[in-house]
């Protein structure tokens, strides 16, 4: 399809392991966002890319979290030394960029850290 694609849809890992979550945005969308959502909460901003560069990474909770978008399209969110508190749904969204807040979300990657 032509929507935002996220893989894996579900990931179960053990505490301390490394995890990568991938996002393939809508073709032509220059802006890409990562959010984290816990049960009963709204999407919590993590990082925003405009093109290849991270325009705002103020939402990354600590240095265990890192995200890249090397060619301005696909992005990978990387979590090192996972903790049980990292368990959540990680949502990726893309938009045409600029001042638009019209985001198109993927179905999310559900991460469970045991």
In the shown chain, the binding pattern of residues 40 to 79 toward other proteins, with x for contact by CB under 8 A and - for none, equals xxxxxx--x-x----xx-xx--------------------
25 near other proteins (CB under 8 A): no
Q: Which residues make beta-bridge pairs with 22? A: 7, 76
Q: Which is nearer to other proteins, 79 or 91 (CB)?
A: 91
In the shown chain, the binding pattern of residues 86 to 105 toward other proteins, with x for contact by CB under 8 A and - for none, equals -----x------xxxxxxxx
Three-state DSSP string of 57-70: CCCCCCCCEEEECC
Local structure of residue 3 (DSSP, 8 states): S
């Amino acid at each position: 399809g032509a929507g935002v694609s996220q893989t894996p849809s579900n990931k179960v890992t053990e505490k301390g392991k490394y995890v990568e979550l991938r996002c393939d945005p809508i073709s032509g969308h220059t802006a890409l966002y990562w959010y984290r959502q816990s049960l009963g909460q709204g999407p919590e901003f993590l990082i925003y890319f405009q093109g290849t560069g991270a325009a705002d990474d103020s939402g990354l909770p600590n240095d265990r979290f890192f995200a890249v978008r090397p060619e301005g399209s696909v992005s990978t969110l990387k979590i090192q030394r996972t903790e049980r508190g990292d368990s959540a749904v990680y949502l990726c969204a893309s938009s045409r960029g600029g001042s638009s807040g019209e985001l198109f979300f993927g179905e999310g990657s559900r991460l469970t850290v045991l």
